[in-house]
Structure formats: C-alpha cells, structure tokens
Structure 1
Amino acid sequence: MDQDTSEGPGPEGAISALVDALRADESIVADTVRILLDTVPGYDGVSTDSLERSTRRNIRLSTQVIRDGHVPTGEDLTEAEELATERLAQGVSLGSVLSGFRVSMSVILERLLALAPTHGVTASEALSFSTGLWALADAFSSRALRVYQEQGIAAAAADSARRLQWIVDAVVRGHEPVELRRGVTAYAVPTDRAVRAFHLTRLQQEGLDPTGLVQFVLASVPGALAAPYGSAAVGILPDEGAVPQVPVELLLAVGPAVVPEDLPRSYLTATRVHEAALATGLGAAVDLERLSWRSGVATSPDTTRVLEQRLLAPVQAHGTFGDLLLESLAAYLDNDLNIARAAAAIPVHVNTLRYRLRRYEDLTGVDTQNLNTVVEIAWVLAARKGMNRSR
C-alpha cells in the first residue's frame, strides 16, 4: 500500500543562504525603484538615493522575518515610522506610501521564489514565507497610518474616512441618487463600462486588521475602490472581463457586472459566492463562472448528506486506506479523468491509481466513468474539502 509523506521544512542553513542571497541581490533595489517611479503616484519628487535606502531597509526587514519566522508588530516597526515621516515631508500621500511598500514586498517575494531552488529551499516552504511578508506589510501599514494621523493630516484623514464610508455604503446598502452621483464623480467610479462588487477575506486569519486587504486590492487592480468592512475588504472593481490574480491564502468573491446603481445586487451575489467558495474549499479569486455548480453545495446540505452516505462513508470506514482512495479519486477528477496525469499529480504509479479507483468502485458500487456519478463525486469531494478547511 502506498503511504503519503510530506516534506519537513528546509534546513536552517538553506534558509540562511537564501537570506544572504536576497540581501546581496542588487536587482531587487533596481527593480523596486523603477516600478515605484513608473507606477506609484507621488514618487517622482523623491530622490533615487532615498528610494534605494528605503528599499534596502525593506529587504533587511523582510529577510529578518524569513530567517526568524517572527513578524514584528506595528509598535516595533520604528523603520515604518521613519519612512512615513520622511515621505510625509516629501509630499507623498499615505496611499502611495502603502502601495510603495507593497510593491517592495512583491519584488522581494518574486526574487525569493526565483532564488529558493538554488539554495535548497523547497517551493512549498518558499511560498509559506509569503504569509509572513504580507503580515509584515499589514504591520507596516498600521504604523505608517498612525504616523500620518499623528502628523496632523486631519483633513486628509477625514476625507479618507468619508471616502471609505461612501464605498461601503455604495456596495452594501446603496446610496440615494444625488449622493451616488457625487461619489461616482469624486472617486472616479467608471461610468463608461460596468463595475463589479467584491468581498475579500483571508482564509486562515479572520479577525485581523483588513488594511492589508484594502492595500492589496488597490495595488493589484488599477481603478479599484476598496474599504475595510469588519475583518474583510469590500469595494468596486472595473469590469475588465476577468477577475484579478489573487494569492491562494486569500478569497476574493466577485459579483456580476452592473451599473453603479446596482452595486448592492452585485455585492449580494459576491457574498453568496464567498459562502459557496468556503463551503467547497475554493480560494484565490472566485466568481459565478468559476464557482459554477459548486454554488449548490452551500445551499443543499441535505443533498450533500445523501451523497456522503453513498459515496464517502463506505470508503471512510477503511481509515487511512480510505483516505488514499479519496486522494486518488480527487486527483482523477482534478485531471479531467486522465489516469496518467492524475497518477503523476499524487504521485503514484499508474497501476496503483487504477487499483485504487477499482477498489473505490468495489466499495461504493458506482462507476467512475459514468457522467452523473462523476458530477456527484465532484460535489461530495468539494463539500469535504470545504469541511476540512473549516476545522
């Protein structure tokens, strides 16, 4: 019987070598400065020397998080206070400062993923560092925001609060026509094409400050509007025909394209998409098109229970061996019923996969080639994935 194993974390020496390589990589500094000047408003008045110094400071902070596995709190980030104070004096807005830091984090993460294999750090471990880096971005955002507030930007803060409240109301509840038109004009909501409401959360860190989620959207989607809403971020995306790229540790649920007056309807759909995505184990960006039939899983628990009794219970009674059968079955469906690709994905020998599929059929009495059965299995496995996530 095949046994499943998982790799442990890479040796400390490999991580130390990766940290040293990142600190010595001058391309991070050059790329970050170039992107800041090309894409983030307000940095054209900041000297290259200043941008290079702040980028090296960000590299030092990021590699310290990677090496130590500890993310400092906003209170501990004196670097954030120093940078925010400097940028404030240079006339850079808070939004640009936060966007600039996320640009820096993105470049560092990209180089981290590129360098990791050459230093013996596994891909899964390298990806795990992204959570720490985005948590660092959240802590930085919190401290930088406080600096701007403490420096007396009361008018700007008040305007920002009004803007955020307008976004929440436009999406969640709707505005009276006059107030809707005012905000559409003031906040540059597109009127020449449709817009889509969204609901964004972290999958494993509910309850944290949503500032980082807001900044992620603003940095990732040109023309987007975003605001905190509880532990989530909500807002408006210009309809470009496709949802943006989103890290797997986040869940971005997007509603259908509508005119601004119908944003609450789009948002209601987005919340239902979010609920169904959680129930079926989906992550990253999800809309109705990607969700497809999975929307029924969240609204039909009785159907799920019936299918579980027929398609899961007979297999789960066999313990670890049953788990292997279900793993093989999921790989089979995920790879479009292609035996060779499914076997390689686990990985096991193709004959092992064929054997496991036959044993599954023997235990449940179903035919995994039957279209209706395939749909039912996909349904119950999706529900199982969502249940495992919630534990």
Structure 2
Amino acid sequence: MENVSSVTSDGSVADVRAERWQELLARLEADAPDIAKRTATKLLAEIPGYEGVDAESVRQSSIRNMALIIRVINAGTEPEAANLPEALMLADERIAQNVPLGSVLHGFRMSLGEILEHLVQLGPEYNIDPGRMLRWSTLMWAVNDAFSTRATSVYRDHEVAQAIADSVRRSEWIGKAVSQGSAMSELLWGAAMYDVPSVTPLRALAAASSDHAHAEGQIGKWAKHAGVRVLTSVQPSVIVGIVIGEPKTSVEGPGFAVGLGRAEVLSRLADSYEDASLVLKAANNLGLNSVSTAQDLSWKLAIHSNPRVSEILVQKYIEPLKESGEFAHEIVESLRAYLGNQMNIPAAARSIPVHVNTLRYRLRRFEELTGCYLEDASTIIEVSWALEVLGRDGQW
C-alpha cells in the first residue's frame, strides 16, 4: 500500500493512504463469478418470467454486466445506448427464451444492484474516496438508463417484425382457405390459431377497393355493427375475408360493394367464396355500395354474366325513349318508382312525387314508345333488367 505525507493544520505530519481504485476494479473482475452466482440465485427466485431460463445463462449475463461496468468506470463517461452491445446480446437471448421486457429490465437492475453493493463493501479496503464512489454509482445508473433504452428498442423491433410475420401468415392462410389451396391439416391449424370454427358454417367475403387499408377498416366497422367477426386478407386484386357468425340484416354497408357467399363449413369455404365473387361482380356492375348475398341480388346476378341479353333489353326498352329527349329521364324515373312500389300507382306517385295522372301518362307514353304492356309479367322482368343495366344515373 502506497503512503504519502501530508502536513496538518497544527504542523504535524500525517499519513494519507492513496486510492487504489484500479486494484479495486481488478478485484471486482476476480469476484465476478461469485457475484454472478449470487445474482442468478436471487433473480430466478424473485423475478417472474425467467421460468424457461437456466441459471448458467443468468450467470453469464451477470459476468458480462460486470465487464460492462468496469469498462464504463475506466472510461469515466456515461455510455450511449447505441454503444451497448451487451444490451443487444441480452435482449436477443431473452427474446428467444420468451422472457418479457419488464422482467429483463428488472433483472438488469438487480444485477447492477449486486455489483454496486459489492463495490461499496470493498470501497474502504481500497481507500476509495466517497466522492469517487458517488460518481461511480451515478455512472452505473446511467448505464441502466442506456441499457433500458437499447433493450426496449430491440424488443420493439422484434414485436414489429413478429407482428408483420404473423400478419403475412394469417393473410396467406385466409387466401388459401377460400381458394381450396390448403390441406385439411393446414386448415385446422389456422382455425385453431385464429379462433375460426371448423364445423360451424362460415361465410366468405369478397370486396374491391383502391384503398385497401381504408376498406379493411370499413369492413371492420360493418362487422361490429352486424354482430360478426371478420378476418380479412388483401390479395392482388380483391379483399377476401371469412365472416364468423351470421350478420344482422339492414346494417349500413361500408360504402362500397361487398359480396357474401353462402354459409359453408371451413372445408367447403371455397364454395362460399365462389358465391361471394359472383355477388361482388354483380354488385359492382349494378353500382351497389352495400353488403349483398346471392339471395339479395337474385336474378340480378345474371346481368353481368349475360352481356348480350343486357344489350338486347336495353335496345328494346331504353333506346326507343331517346326520341323523347329530356322527357326520357322522367319516364325512367316513373318506371323506377312504379317497379319499386310493387306497381302501386298512388304509392309510386307519392315517392317521386308527382300527381297520379302524371305518372299514368308517363307510363302510358313508355308503352307507346316501346310497344310493350306493363301488365305483362315478362315485360316487368325485362324492364327491371334493362333499368339495372342503365344504372341509377340514367346515362345512355
């Protein structure tokens, strides 16, 4: 031990023991295995989340923590979070062991606490000045702050990557489930993973929108109001989904066309999706902005798949009206009101509104121009078809 002389205020000479802090740091390094063993025992006994971690793994991380503290003390400056590879190593290791972030941060603080306690106990033996010990303590808790920042960042990045991977897996499973692209074992795996019943009937969903993120959000809102749960997946040209539960009727749609297939069990969901796709095509052609089933559209499903029939009916019932000029739009308006009110003339007149005689005149003029009779059932069906092809805007 090095001695130096110092003159006191009364003129006498006193021995002052020099600080031996480098020797103390060497002692800390030598004692690291014992401190690590004590830390591991305490940590595993007190901190939840480490059930799958063996004691040796905790001891090794504690020894790394000791090396980190010695490095920081020698440097004498507070570390930056980006310069703590120990934090990256420990976070990656604990993520693989399924240890929650909170437990990791708690464990690191406990490890630093054990190191600091040992440091304080050895201080008098190595004549460490209390001021220096205070600076070391401050540096150690700065290390804790930097470690927490880096470890939290690693956990957050892992969670984001995991969420993306889970989303991709779910999207792929949904796509395969509605397209007969999965083996039964894979269907059942996904059903268990995403809480989809395998024997209760489900409905496939199909929707098209240029803004997929917005569309999925709107479908989610519709599902909430309809009392169902929906899993959706964005595919190259369409949004597909699985509807769990039977949706309530008369619920406002998402603002764009959505097709729902017939109810089928999971193994036959592709048949339901075939229905949903057909309904979606028809709904888009009809300019609908609602959720529709095949039962809702009925004969209207045939419009988009029979363009020649549509062409013939438009020529028969719409083209002859052009010679009436702007009056043609009033005729079409009256026809829609007439058909929409079950051919009840007073009700139809009130819905526009016009006088009943005005409505009768317009309908009679339609018959004159087209040579048809609205009392004929076939004419009613054909006119309805032609008006759906024409669209609500009445443009031709």
Common fold: TM-score over 0.5: yes
Asked whether 1:159 is paired with 2:171, we answer no
Residue type of the partner of 2:273?
Y
Asked whether 1:187 is paired with 2:161, we answer no
Which residue number corresponds to residue 258 of structure 1?
264
Alignment of 1:40-55 (within 5 A): none
Which residue number corresponds to residue 364 of structure 1?
370
Distance 1:194 1:240, change over 3 A: same
Which residue number corresponds to residue 324 of structure 2?
318
- Structure 2: how far apart are the matches of 1:149 and 1:382? 53
Distance 1:325 1:250, change over 3 A: same
Kept after mapping to 2: 8 A contact 1:273/1:287? yes
Which has the higher mean CA deviation after the structures are superposed, 165-174 or 370-379? 165-174
- Structure 2: how far apart are the matches of 1:149 and 1:227? 24
Kept after mapping to 2: 8 A contact 1:246/1:252? no
- Structure 1: how far apart are the matches of 2:172 and 2:246? 25
Residue type of the partner of 1:188?
D
- Structure 1: how far apart are the matches of 2:279 and 2:300? 9
1:240 pairs with one of 246, 267, 286: 246
Residue type of the partner of 1:199?
A
- Cα displacement (A) at 1:316: 2.2
2:182 pairs with one of 175, 178, 185: 175
1:215 pairs with one of 192, 213, 220: 220
- Structure 1: how far apart are the matches of 2:378 and 2:345? 19
Which residue number corresponds to residue 357 of structure 2?
351
- Cα displacement (A) at 1:239: 4.6
- Structure 2: how far apart are the matches of 1:350 and 1:283? 31
Asked whether 1:340 is paired with 2:346, we answer yes
Which residue number corresponds to residue 151 of structure 2?
none
- Cα displacement (A) at 1:228: 2.1
Alignment of 1:126-137 (within 5 A): none
Distance 1:367 1:334, change over 3 A: same
Secondary structure of 1:332's match? helix
- Structure 2: how far apart are the matches of 1:357 and 1:191? 53
- Structure 2: how far apart are the matches of 1:258 and 1:250? 24
Q: Percent identity?
A: 34
- Structure 2: how far apart are the matches of 1:385 and 1:240? 30
Residues 248-272 of structure 1: per-residue CA shift (max 9 Å, x gap) = 7221101111111111221112111
- Structure 1: how far apart are the matches of 2:235 and 2:310? 31
Alignment of 1:1-391 (within 5 A): 152-202=159-209, 206-207=210-211, 209=213, 210-217=215-222, 219-220=224-225, 221-230=227-236, 232-240=238-246, 245-247=251-253, 249-385=255-391
- Cα displacement (A) at 1:152: 4.7
Kept after mapping to 2: 8 A contact 1:197/1:234? yes
Residue type of the partner of 1:332?
Y
Residues 294-315 of structure 1: per-residue CA shift (max 9 Å, x gap) = 1121111111111112111111
Secondary structure of 1:355's match? helix
- Cα displacement (A) at 1:151: 8.8
- Cα displacement (A) at 1:149: 7.9
Kept after mapping to 1: 8 A contact 2:222/2:251? no
Residue type of the partner of 2:343?
L
Kept after mapping to 1: 8 A contact 2:222/2:252? no
- Cα displacement (A) at 1:230: 3.8
Residue type of the partner of 1:353?
L
- Cα displacement (A) at 1:229: 2.5
Distance 1:248 1:343, change over 3 A: farther
Secondary structure of 1:258's match? coil
Determine which structure has more spread, i.e. the larger CA radius of gyration.
2
- Structure 1: how far apart are the matches of 2:298 and 2:178? 23
Query: TM-score, normalised on structure 1?
Result: 0.56
- Structure 2: how far apart are the matches of 1:239 and 1:385? 33
Kept after mapping to 2: 8 A contact 1:171/1:263? yes
Kept after mapping to 1: 8 A contact 2:220/2:230? no
Residue type of the partner of 1:212?
G
- Structure 1: how far apart are the matches of 2:324 and 2:356? 22
Query: TM-score, normalised on structure 2?
Result: 0.55
- Structure 2: how far apart are the matches of 1:323 and 1:387? 10
Secondary structure of 1:153's match? helix
Residue type of the partner of 1:186?
M
Secondary structure of 1:378's match? helix
- Structure 2: how far apart are the matches of 1:230 and 1:338? 46
- Structure 1: how far apart are the matches of 2:250 and 2:171? 21
Distance 1:368 1:218, change over 3 A: closer
Secondary structure of 1:189's match? coil
Distance 1:384 1:187, change over 3 A: same
- Structure 1: how far apart are the matches of 2:250 and 2:236? 22
- Structure 2: how far apart are the matches of 1:193 and 1:344? 46
